[in-house]
Amino acid sequence: MTTAPLRKDAARNWERIVAVARELVDEGTPLQLNDIARRVHMGVGTVYRHFPTAEALLETVATPSLEALTAHGEQALADEDPKRALTDFLTRTIEAQVTDASLSPVTAAPTDALPRTTELKQTLWSVGGQLLERAHDAEVVRTDLTSDDMVPLMCGIAFAASVHGSPAARVETARRYLTALLEGLYVR
Amino acid sequence: MTTAPLRKDAARNWERIVAVARELVDEGTPLQLNDIARRVHMGVGTVYRHFPTAEALLETVATPSLEALTAHGEQALADEDPKRALTDFLTRTIEAQVTDASLSPVTAAPTDALPRTTELKQTLWSVGGQLLERAHDAEVVRTDLTSDDMVPLMCGIAFAASVHGSPAARVETARRYLTALLEGLYVR
Amino acid sequence: MTTAPLRKDAARNWERIVAVARELVDEGTPLQLNDIARRVHMGVGTVYRHFPTAEALLETVATPSLEALTAHGEQALADEDPKRALTDFLTRTIEAQVTDASLSPVTAAPTDALPRTTELKQTLWSVGGQLLERAHDAEVVRTDLTSDDMVPLMCGIAFAASVHGSPAARVETARRYLTALLEGLYVR
Amino acid sequence: MTTAPLRKDAARNWERIVAVARELVDEGTPLQLNDIARRVHMGVGTVYRHFPTAEALLETVATPSLEALTAHGEQALADEDPKRALTDFLTRTIEAQVTDASLSPVTAAPTDALPRTTELKQTLWSVGGQLLERAHDAEVVRTDLTSDDMVPLMCGIAFAASVHGSPAARVETARRYLTALLEGLYVR
DNA sequence: CATGAATGAGCCTTCATTCAT
DNA sequence: AATGAATGAAGGCTCATTCAT
C-alpha cells in the first residue's frame, strides 16, 4: 500500500522490519539500519531497499499513529460542539505524542522522507486548523493563537512532559499541562 | 574566577575556547572537543584539560545566562506584587531559553558536569518555586500546577517556539505562548 | 571452519589478517587492529568485523598451536609408559610456548575472547591433568604438585627461558629448565 | 645518596614521590609520571627532574628490596653449609619477588635506568653465582644449571606463582615451586 | 628549582553507505 | 531481489614529554 504491491515474501520482510523498528522506538533505542538488519536476520541491503534512510523507517513506524490521529480529527469535525471538538482533538494528539516516541521527531521535522508522511501531516494540520477556526468563530477561544501554533504547542507540551518525569507519569502530566494551556486558550 | 586562578596564558586559552564554543552554540553546531581544538588552533589535550567533557564546556557557556537569570529571579523576589513578579521571572526565563541555545540542554539535563551548574540550577528552581508559592498564597494562580512544573513548562514553551519558527520570530512566538499559558494559570 | 562458512573473498581477507597478525606476533609487535588494517590495506571496519578485539585475533593466531598441542596430548594419553607420556607432553608444551609468542598470553589469560579458545584450553588442562594423574598412580612423580600447577609451571619455564636469552637459544634453555624441574618432580 | 646531596625540601619531595610510587606498585597500578605528580601535588616537571623516566622511578622503588637481598646473600656466603646457604638465598629471593611487584620487571629488564640498579643486580648475580659454585664444589647440586640460570629461574618461578593464583596464596605457591625445582637441582 | 599548561601523535571504536556476489 | 562484506571518515580519549612562566 506504500507504493507498489510487493511480492508476498518482500511484504513479509517489510512487516518484520517495521515491527522490530517499532520495538526499538518503544524502548528508546535509536534506529540504525545495520542494527535492524541484524535483528531481523536480513542483509543491510534488503533493509535499505525497503527504507532508504532511517527517517523513512521512522516515518513508516509513525504512520499508523498519524493515521489514527487524522481519523479522530475528522470525527471531531463532525462534533457540533466546537469547544469539545477542539479539546478532544488536542487531548488525543497529546496523548499520542507522549505515548508513541516516533511521533515527536516526525511531527517536529521540517522536512519528510515519505510523501505519505507529508500528506498525513498536512491533513492533520488542516484538521487542527479547521477545529481551531470553528472555535474561533464560536468565540470560545482567544484569537491570538492561530492554527499555525497548534503543532508547536502540542510538541511543546509533549516535550515538557518528557522533562524530569518518569515515563509512567507522562500521560497524566501532559494532560495537566494541556489543561492549563486550554484554560488560557478558552475565552471566559 | 571559575575554580582556581589560572595563569595568564591559560586563562586566555580558556577564554578563546569558551568564545568559540559560544559561537558554535549560537550557530547550532554541536560541541565537539576535537573540532573546537582545531578551530582554536590548540592541541586536543589543551581543550580536554580545560573541559573534560563537552557537557562541561556547554555548561560553562551557559553559566553567564544562568547567573543572569538567577540575579533577575532574586530581584523579582523583592517585588511586592506576586503576580507581576512571577510573570516577569517567567518571561525573562523564556526569553533567555529561546535566545541562548545553551540553556535548554543544560536546563533539561538530569545531571550536571559542573558543581557550579548544579548550584545555579538549584537556586533558580528555588527562586521559581518561591515566586510561584507567593502567587499561590495571594490566590492569583491556580493550584494544580506546582513548582516542579515550572521548569518543564518553560522548556516546553521554548521547545514549542523552536518548532517551525524562523529564529528571528522565536522570542515573539515564545512570548505569545507564555501569555497563553499564563492566562490559563492565573485565577480569574 | 571457524564459525560460519565465509564467502570466498571474505575468507581471503580473514586469512591475510591472520597471516599478518602471525608475523607481528613473531616479531614481537603488539597487535593493534588499526595498525593491521593499514598493513593489509583494508578498512578498519573490515578488520573489526572479522575480529572484534585484539584478543580475538591473538587467540585466532594461537589456535593452530593449541590444536597441535591438544592432538599431541591425546596421543600421549595412548602411551603405556606414564612417565614418558608426561615428559613428552610437557616437553612439547614448553617448546611450543617458547617458539610461539601467541601462546603465553593466551594460556595465561584468565578469560577468553573466543569459545573455541576456552574449549581448547580446557581440553589441554584436562589432558595434562590426566597425564599427571597417571604418573601419580604409577608412583613416578611426587604428589605435592597437582594438575593445577601444570599450567603455571609451564608458563613459568617459558617465561624463564625468555629472560636474558637470545631467542635462538630459548628452546634449548627451556628444555634444560624443564629437565631440572622434572628431576625434582620425579620420584627417585 | 643517589647522586648528589639534595636540598632539604628537594629531598622531601623525592621521598614523597617514591612513597606514592611504592603504594601504586603495591596496588598494581602502572606508574605514570603525570599521575604521580597529581597525587603528590607537584608539577610534572618536578617529578621528571627527580626521575627522568618511569623506569628510573620503578628502580628506585625496587632498590631497598634489592639491597636487602644483596645483604642477605652476603650473609649466606658466610654460612659454612653450602646447600643451606643456597637454599636460603633462593628462598628469600623468591619470596621477595612474589611479595614486591617492583622486583620482577626490574630484575628481568635487560637494561637499567639507574647505575645503582645495575650495580645491585650485578652484585646479586655474583653472590648467587658464588653460592651456586660452592654448592657445585661441594657436589650438592647438579652441574647442568649454571649461575646464569639463577635469575631466569627465579623470575620464572615468581611468574608461575602469579599465574592463576590468588595474591594471598602466592608466597606459599612460590615456595612449593621452588622446592620442586630444588629437588631437581640437588644431587641425590 | 618548581610549575603545570600545552602538545599532538596515536589508539580505539562506530556507523552510514556502497557494491560485488 | 537479497545478501552482507567492505569501506573509511569521523569522533572519542590518553599520555609521554616539552617548555614558557
* DSSP β-bridge partners for residue D186: D141
Report whether pLDDT(B145) > 50.
yes
pLDDT, tens digit, 9 for 90 and up, residues D26-55: 999 999 999 999 999 999 999 999 999 999
Top pLDDT among A170 and A167 is at A170
As a whole-number percent, the residues of chain A with pLDDT over 70 amount to 94
Q: Identify the domain containing residue A103 by its residue range.
A: 62-185
C45 versus A164: the higher-pLDDT residue is C45
Amino acid at D117: T
Q: State whether A130 and A88 are in the same domain.
A: yes
Q: Is nucleic acid strand E under 7 Å from D43's C-beta?
A: yes
Residue C188: which pLDDT band, with cuts at 50, 70 and 90?
low
Mark whether C175 and C82 lie in a shared domain: yes
Distance from CA of C37 to the nearest CA of D (A): 29
Same domain, B124 and B169: yes
Instruction: Give the residue, C51 or D108, on which the prediction is more confident.
Output: C51
CATH of residue A98: 1.10.357.10
Say if C151 falls within a structural domain: yes
* pLDDT higher than threshold 70 for residue B83: yes
- Nearest residue to F7 via alpha carbon and C1': C43
pLDDT band of C116, cuts 50, 70, 90: very high
Q: Which pLDDT value is given to residue D2?
A: 46
pLDDT value of residue D7: 66
Examine residue B57 and state whether it is found in any structural domain, yes or no.
no
C36 and C116 in one domain?
A: no
- Say if the Cβ atoms of A157 and B161 lie within 8 Å: no
> Which bases of strand F sit closer than 7 A to a protein CB?
1-21
**C144 touching D (Cβ < 8 Å):** yes
Reference D33, options D12, D49, D11; nearest CA is D49
Residue with the bigger pLDDT between B168 and B84: it is B84
- Is residue C43 assigned to a domain? yes
Q: What pLDDT, in 10s, does the model give residues D80-100?
A: 999 899 999 999 999 999 999
In the predicted model, is pLDDT for residue A185 greater than 80?
A: no
pLDDT higher than 90, residue A142: no
Is there contact between B188 and strand E, defined as CB under 7 Å from any strand atom? no
- Tell me the mean pLDDT in the region B70-91: 94
Give pLDDT, residue A1: 45
Task: Give CA torsion, residues D42, D44, D50, D55, to 10 deg.
Answer: 130
The nucleotide minimizing the C1' distance to residue A13's CA is F2
Neighbours of D164 (CB within 10 A): 14
How far, in Å, are A101, A102, A106, A115, B40 from residue A63 at the CA level?
12, 9, 9, 11, 45
Give me the CATH number covering residue A20: 1.10.10
- Give the highest mean pLDDT range of B157-171, D99-113, D140-154: D99-113
Q: What is the phi/psi pair of residue A186, to 5°?
A: -70, 140
Is the CB of B146 less than 7 A from some atom of nucleic acid strand F? no
CB contacts of A142 in chain B (<8 Å) are: 180, 183
Sign of CA dihedral A133, A139, A141, A142: positive
Residue C45 lies in a domain: yes
Look at residue B9 and tell me if it is in a domain.
yes
What is the distance in angstroms measured between the alpha-carbon CA of B48 and the sugar C1' of E17?
Answer: 32
In this complex, is the C-beta atom of B157 within 8 Å of any C-beta atom belonging to chain A?
yes
- Kindly give, in sequence order, each residue whose CB lies less than 8 Å from that of residue D81, ignoring residues fewer than 6 positions away: none
Same-domain status, D129 and D85: yes
Mean pLDDT of B110-117: 94
For the residues A36-58, what does the mean pLDDT come to? Answer: 95
The answer to the question of residue D124 being in a domain is yes
**A136/A83 same-domain check:** yes
B165, B173 Cβ separation under 8 angstroms: yes
Q: Which of residues 109-148 of B touch strand E (CB under 7 A)?
A: none
Query: Is residue D57 included in any domain, yes or no?
Result: no
Model confidence band, residue D6 (pLDDT cutoffs 50, 70, 90): low
For residue A166, give the DSSP letter: -
pLDDT of residue A141: 86
Would you place residue C164 in the very low, low, confident or very high pLDDT band (cuts 50, 70, 90)? confident
Does residue B147 surpass a pLDDT of 70?
yes
User: What pairs with residue B141 in β-bridges?
Assistant: B186
Lowest-pLDDT choice from B64-73, C5-14, C144-153, D33-42:
C5-14
Give the rounded percent of residues in chain D with a pLDDT score beyond 70. 94
Same domain, C93 and C128: yes
Same domain, B67 and B43: no
Chains D and C are touching, with contact defined as 3 or more CB–CB pairs separated by less than 8 Å: yes
- Chain B 38..67 CB hits on strand F (< 7 A): 44-45, 48, 53-54
Q: What is the pLDDT of residue B161?
A: 93
Same domain, B5 and B92: no
Q: Are C45 and C66 in the same domain? A: no
Cα separation of A103 and B22, whole Å?
A: 31
Residue A3 pLDDT greater than 60, yes or no: no
How confident is the model over B38-52, as pLDDT tens digits? 999 999 999 999 999
Q: What is the pLDDT of residues C63-97, one digit of tens each?
A: 999 999 999 999 999 999 998 999 999 999 999 99
The predicted model scores a pTM of 0.88
Does residue B93 sit within a domain? yes
| Closest nt by CA–C1' to A33 | E16
Residue B1 has what pLDDT? 40
| Contacting residues of B for A185, CB less than 8 Å apart | 180, 183-184
Q: With contact defined as beta carbons under 8 Å apart, do D61 and D21 qualify?
A: yes
Please, which pLDDT band fits residue A6 given cuts at 50, 70 and 90? low
- State whether B183 and A180 contact (CB < 8 Å): no
Angle at B22 between CA B18 and CA B27, to 5 degrees: 150
Average pLDDT, chain D: 90
In a 13 Å sphere around the CA of A64, the CA atoms on its Cβ side amount to 6
Estimate to the nearest angstrom the gap between the alpha carbon of B135 and the chain centroid: 23
Residues A141 and A74 in one domain: yes
Cell numbers placing B135? 502567587
- Residue ending a domain, among D30, D52, D74, is D52
**Alpha-carbon distance D50 to D53, whole Å?**
9
Q: Are the beta carbons of A110 and B164 separated by less than 8 Å?
A: yes
Q: Is residue A122 domain-shared with residue A174, that is, in the same domain?
A: yes
- B5's grid cell: 586562578
Domain count, chain A: 2
Nucleotide nearest to B31 (CA to C1'): F11
Please tell me the distance in Å from B8's CA to the nearest CA on chain A. Answer: 40
